[in-house]
Chains A and B, each alone.
Chain A
Amino acid sequence: MSGPNTDYDPVEVTPLKADQVEAMREAALAAIADAADLDALKQVRLDHNGDRSPLALANREIGALPPQARKEAGQRVGQARGAINQALAARQAVLEAEHEQRMLAEETVDVSLPTTRRRRGSRHPLTLQSELIADLFVAMGYEVAEGPVVEAEWLNFDALNLGPDHPARTMQDTFWTEPAEDHVVLRTQTSPVQARTMLTRKPPIYVVCPGRVFRTDEYDATHSPMFHQVEGLVVDEGITMAHLKGTLDHFASQLFGDGITTRFRPSYFPFTEPSAEVDVRCFVCRGVDSASCRTCRGEGWIEWGGCGVVNPRVLIACGVDPEVYSGFAFGMGIDRSFMFRHGLEDLRPLFEGDVRFSSAFGTEI
């Protein structure tokens, strides 16, 4: 806003007078300070620092000054513009920060809103329990063996010292398949996998076999025609019942907690001799003041499974020399272990497929 150059005396160029430049600077700084937002500041920038701003115009007049006056005038204008640029930048930063703060404040959401848009999946607790058990044994150096559930009668019974007229065959109510002369059954135990393992591997054998087994039990709170077992088999030189006890004690402590041990009671299984029932120390009451314990029903012990030293007859049928090798085997119900480990009293939710059951366990147990 230079005024008309009425009096062409270079020294007297009005806009370049010190007080004039000072006034322009003050006006600019005041406008910058007053700029309330980024848009206002943009206008202030145009007005006071743009090509048509008083200082810009004044700057153009410098050339009209006598050489000796140019330096001083140039410095004066330059300083003023420098101060204005600085003030603009500072104000810009402040206003941008304010703007961002306001925007962020405006974008506030209710973080307590529900976020579950996708369904959650889960694995079946029996699968998880099987894997957990398999992992315990794999950690000891065992391998996981498998076999078919529709099995040859010979492998499910005869090879395991359960001849056709063995009374123990009636202990396991067997599903038979048609035609009967095919001699095919639904395996009643995971033990045929033991036989298969001995028939296909050479000792030393250290395996566990988790899997589904079948018995003709009517389906109710404590019986199911299908359930899951895990069986272990060790065949090596010099294997004794003491090794069996040590292994099951370790298994028990891993599955139910430190210090949980097992108890053997004489029992009978055709494929082992001697045979034992295994009880596991109740991990809830630990045998102290058991009377009111709901987990072991006052026993202090929980029936867990069966075990024993592999009957030499089984070794012979499976091609293992009983003069050189001995072994032990054990079998536990996975479903049953799960039930008392997790306080499930009726087994039916395991097989009903209600998502509310499996979902409660997620992907780990």
Chain B
Amino acid sequence: MKAPLSWILDHIDVPAGTTTEHITDRLTLTGLKLEAIESPGRDITGPLVIGRVLTMEAEPQKNGKTINWCTVDVGDANGTGEPQGIVCGAHNFKPGDLVVTVLPGGVLPGGFEIGARKTYGHLSAGMICSSRELGLGDDHDGIIVLPADAGTPGQDVRPVLGLDEETIELEINPDRAYALSIRGIAREVLVSVEGASGFRDPALRDTPPADDLGHPVVVEDAEGCPVFVARRVSGFDPSAPTPDFMVRRITAAGMRPISLAVDVTNYVMLETGRPIHGYDADKVRGALVVRRARDGERLTTLDGTERRLDPGDLVVCDDSGIIGLGGVMGGETTEISGSTTSVLVEAAHWDAVSMYRTGRRHKITSEAGKRNERGVDPTICEAAADRVVELLVEHGGATAEPGVTVVGTPPAQPVVEVAGDLAARVSGMPITEERSVECLRAVGCEVTGSGTLSVTPPPWRPDLTDAQDFSEEVIRLVGYDRVPSVLPTPPSGRGLTRAQQLRRRVGRTLAGEGFVEVVSFPFVGASDLDALGLPADDPRRDVLELTNPLSAEAGSMTTTLLPGVLRAAGKNVGHGNADVALFETGTVTLPRHAGPAAILPVDRRPTAEELAALDAALPAQPLHLAVVAAGDASSGGWWGEARPVSWADAVEAVRSVTDALGLDVTAAAAEVAPWHPGRCAELSVDGEVVGHAGELHPTVCQAFGLPKRSVAAEVDLDLLISRAVHLRQAPAFSSYPVAKEDVALVVDAAVPAADVEAALREGAGELLESIRLFDVYTGDQVGEGKKSLAYALRFRAPDRTLKEGEAATARDAAVALAAQQTGAVQRA
């Protein structure tokens, strides 16, 4: 809310010498946070004075323009009292006029410095200003001609133009709708600023009594519209200008002046907080009727939009049909225009929830709607309407017609029981009951009783419904800044959970392995999944769609972290960082299509079954880990050649994680997008598939701007962490000598090395300490379609030195089993 300070101070007195900053500091500390203090003249410095044009001589120029060479009386403002010679290009003034003159040394908005300069053959010492040059508006048709009684030459013109007028912009929280008005802010100044007094309530006025002479109104839905007040003026002069003060205040408050009739309704809304609607009375046919819309009804609102109405919308009708969306926006057919001479003024109280729903449904945000949906004082409809009538009469030459229509009565205020010591208990401050009562009365509550207080909130505070709400009122007036600082004493905590610790361990491990962590948005689109080459029936295509995504290209929650990390890697490569290794951990969203998550009651704890059903209705959201690497794994240099990344780096990255978690992972060939069909490992722990790793498919690399042979992996980190070894056993190892045996086995190229190794392990028996594949050979010596695998086997007994030939026997057994299980033939 932007509020001109002078307007606030029309309704409240503050001690002499109170600065604007003091007022805004106090308002900030009691809950109306200062956003900005603005004044139109803040960018103007130096002498800006009233000048009287003494002479002006039109001088046509060669460039076709005609300039006026003027002498201007600026009093003593120029230090000499002599007339000031000024060249002016405008023509909308004459000798004797009072004009706005900036003298040399002055600076106008935009850092425009004024000096005495030679131009058009004269020494022009200053400038006669237009509105635009002063930052007061776009009017540049001519210079400002001040009213004849504006003041005397040489006098500072700032107060005359309202350039010093300060406007304070306050952030208003949704519970403080009353502060969306000068009335509410002035009341806050009263309770916040020490010494403030003399609150003059703009909504407190004698209003003519209701009668049945006014415009007929029928309210069919009293719940939706508890109070409807109608007044009427006639003989209004549609050409009457809006007075300057009103234009300035409305503009400062952030609204656009339109015409006197409209400006008056806005002015009264800003002043009292009560939205007003004005109809062109001559266009209204018969009685006004307030009801809910019927399905399918339509209305073209003031903004020119034709809207299909909902049965929940409150509408105002006349004999012609619907003429307005009650409390939200009027209709076109009865709009006040440049020829309106009779105005029907509506000040009605509307149901806030209806207002909120209608605004949301039709996507209308208006100043009126903003107030109506947050809650307006229902008792001030008559006063607000009367104020509108007063202003139309005063400034528009209108006549107030007899007749005051008032339908309905404001709802009664609830009485809330509040413990007298509640504020003390909530705040931890020694606030007495007396102090609490004093504060509550200060904000407008009626308070009776003691021990347990019976508190009636003022009608402008619909937000005060619960006992605790009143404690906030007390505490903010006592002062949030007085709340002491006391540390509570929690019971001994259990520290991080095991899973939380392991997640950190995984991150540190990967960072140690040279991977850089990234954080991506979890949004994905079909084009991303296409880029991964996912087949149509891939389960990762079953995504949770967002109703209102920021972009249609990424309109769903992702089922895989790969698009995010691949995109990030591609971006790095694009930035010239060809060697890149990234990882990301994050949840993915796997829909379960398990139906709605119920909206449960809030007046009790949900049952265990209700909670379980709620969780079951949500998608599964396992934590995944993805890695990607491109370019060189280790760079080349004086030490030797670079080593490009290979599929094995992706597997190894996962292995570094499983090692850190104390898990053994096994790899088996798989064909899964987005990987190279011949270079993709399905990774398992204890027979359960945990993810995939390998070289990316060349088309995927291309799609993400990555070099060929880039590699990636994605695993279910929750699954790995759930299987992590909790308690590692201490190892026992032998100090007897080791016996080494090497074997080279020839197998079909398609036989996985892992199978051969498993057979060797099993065949070698208990004496085998370790086995290591140290060479893989394909070529002429082993024949087409074959490969040779060379293993180093180490044997050792826990309790003795091996006997001669014992290791060789074990080796032979290993080879025999490998031969049986994998067709391996020992290479001569």
Contacts and interface: CB of A to CB of B under 8 A. Distances in A.
Contacts of B575: 354, 356
Contacts of A121: 510-517, 581
A274 B471 contact: yes
B731 interface: no
Interface string B412-445: 0000000000000111110000000000000000
A105 interface: no
A352 B569 CA distance: 10
| Most chain B C-beta atoms within 10 Å of own C-beta, residue among A247, A268, A319 | A268
A214 to B, nearest CB: 9
Given A355-B580, A358-B516, A167 B522 contact: no
A352 B469 CA distance: 43
Interface in B553-584: 557, 564-565, 567-569, 571-572, 575, 577, 579-582
Contacts of B33: 265, 267, 277
| Most chain A C-beta atoms within 10 Å of own C-beta, residue among B547, B601, B633 | B547
A274 B428 CA distance: 12
B176 interface: yes
Nearest to A131: B504
A326 B604 contact: no
Given A149-B587, A150-B544, A350-B519, A312 B466 contact: yes
B777 interface: no
Interface in A103-131: 113-114, 116-124, 126-127, 131
Interface stretch (A52-60, A67-75, A171-179, A283-291): A171-179
Contacts of A234: 488, 490
Interface residues of B, number: 111
Contact of A353 (B520, B523, B638): B520
Contacts, number: 298
Contact of A177 (B486, B518, B544): B544
Contacts of A236: 488, 490
Nearest to B594: A182
B391 interface: no
B426 A118 contact: no
A325 interface: no
B557 A165 contact: no
A158 B428 contact: no
Category for how many chain A residues contact B: 35 or more
Contact of A123 (B496, B511, B598): B511
A206 B589 contact: no
Interface in B584-632: 586-587, 589, 595-606, 611, 614, 617-619, 621
Contact of B476 (A212, A245, A274, A352): A274
Contact of B472 (A155, A163, A274): A274
Interface of A: 113-114, 116-124, 126-127, 131, 134, 138, 140-144, 148-155, 158-159, 161, 163-165, 167-168, 170-171, 175-178, 180-184, 186, 199, 204, 206, 212, 216, 218-219, 225-226, 234, 236, 239-247, 249-250, 261, 263-268, 273-277, 309, 311-313, 316-319, 326, 350-356, 358-359, 362-363
| Nearest 3 A/B pairs, CB to CB | A319-B605, A353-B568, A242-B428
17 contacts: A131-B504, A143-B493, A149-B587, A154-B597, A159-B600, A183-B598, A184-B597, A240-B486, A241-B427, A242-B485, A245-B483, A263-B480, A264-B480, A267-B33, A275-B472, A317-B604, A355-B580
Given A316-B605, A319-B605, 9 more contacts: A123-B508, A124-B519, A131-B504, A151-B618, A226-B521, A246-B487, A274-B426, A353-B567, A354-B572
Interface of B: 28-31, 33, 173-176, 352-353, 356-357, 360, 373-374, 425-429, 466-469, 471-472, 475-476, 480-481, 483-488, 490-497, 500, 504, 507-508, 510-523, 544-550, 557, 564-565, 567-569, 571-572, 575, 577, 579-582, 586-587, 589, 595-606, 611, 614, 617-619, 621, 633-635, 637-639
